[in-house]
Amino acid sequence: MTATDPPAEAPKTTTSNPGTPPQAAAARPGATTRLGGPFAPGTPLTGTVRLRAYRDDGPICAALGTLPRGHLPPLPGALVALAVSAVLLGTGLGEQHSLALFAPVAVLMLTGLASAHGHTGRLDWLVPPIIRAIEYGYLAVLGFAQSVPAPLVFLLLGVLAFHHYDTVYRTRQGLWPADWLFPAGLGWEGRMLVVALFGLSGFLPFAYAALAAYLGVLFACESVLSWTHPARGGGVMDDLEEEGT
C-alpha cells in the first residue's frame, strides 16, 4: 500500500435485526428450530417456521414425524385425512358412533408422518387450514351428535380459535409462543384423541368441559405472559437469531 492509496474500509459486520422475520433468519446457514426438532439436512427453511407453528402439532405428531425424516410431503396426506374424517363422521354417527371415534387415529397416521417436512411446497400453506377444519369439524360434529351441551362445544371451539388466532397474529409481530406451549396444549391430535377416548367411555361432556377449562387457562396465561414479557416468550425467534449470528 502506498501513501496515496485510500485506507482500506473496515469489514462490515451485520447484527441480527430483532424485527427480522423468522423465514429470513431460518435461511441463514446453520439455523434450526425447536418446533418438532431440526429439519432434515438440506431442507430449505424459507417460510417453514410459521407453517410448522400454525400446524399446532403435539408430542405424538412430532414423534411420528421423525420416522420418515421429513421426506414425506404433507399436503397429500392432509387432503386424504380431510376426506377420511368426513366419511367417518358421516357414517359413524348415531348408533354406529364408534366409527367416528376412530377418526383421530386415521387422521394422525395420515398427517403426523409428514409433520417434520419443511412445508416448502407451493401449496403446503394449505396444510394448517386443513388441520384446523378437521379438528374444529370433528369436535363440533361429534359434540352435537353425542348430546354434549351446546355451550360446552362452543366454549371449547372458542378457546381453540383464540389460541390459533393469537399464534398467527403474534408470529407476524415477531413474538412466538413458548416452546413448551405446543406439548402442554396437547396438540390438535392430542385433543382429538382425548375427546375420542372419553366418547368411548360415555363421559364426553366432561371431556369438553375439562379441555375448555384447562386449555383456556393455559392459552390465556401464556399469551398474556408473552405479550407483556416478550423476553420470556417463545424461544424459536431467539434461537434463530442466536444461531444465525
Q: Can you give the CATH number for the domain in which 154 is found?
A: 1.20.120.1760
Residue 14 lies in a domain: no
Alpha-carbon gap, residue 152 to 93, rounded angstroms: 19
Query: Which domain covers residue 192, as residue numbers?
Result: 45-237
What whole-number distance in Å separates Cα of residue 191 and Cα of residue 196?
A: 9
Highest mean pLDDT among 63-77, 83-97, 228-242: 63-77
Q: Which pLDDT does position 235 carry in this prediction?
A: 43
pLDDT at position 47 is: 55
Cβ-proximal residues to 20 (8 Å cutoff; 6+ apart), any chain:
174, 241
State the pLDDT confidence band at 130, using cuts at 50, 70 and 90.
very high
pLDDT bracket for residue 239 (50, 70, 90): very low
If you average pLDDT over every residue of the chain, what do you get? 75
Question: In this structure, are residues 67 and 36 in contact, taking their beta carbons and an 8 Å threshold?
Answer: no
Distances (CA, A) of 163 to 92, 151, 187, 221: 29, 18, 11, 11
List, for residues 194-227, the tens digit of each pLDDT value.
998 888 877 889 999 999 999 999 999 988 888 8
Grid cell 409462543 is found at 177
Report the pLDDT value the prediction gives residue 154, as an integer from 0 to 100.
95
**pLDDT number for residue 186:** 93
Residue 188 lies in a domain: yes
Residues 71-83, mean pLDDT to the nearest whole number: 89
Give the span between the Cα atoms of 240 and 244, in whole angstroms: 6
Q: Is residue 19 part of a domain?
A: no
For residue 118, tell me if it sits in a domain: yes
d(CA 65, CA 51): 15
Whether 91 maps to a domain, the answer reads yes
Looking at the domain assignment, is residue 40 inside a domain? no
Give the torsion sign (CA, 158, 235, 189, 217).
negative
Residue 16 has pLDDT above 50, yes or no: no
184, pLDDT greater than 80: yes
> What is the domain count for the chain?
1
pLDDT grade for 145, boundaries at 50, 70 and 90: confident
Q: 10 lies in a domain?
A: no
* Residue 7, domain member (yes or no): no
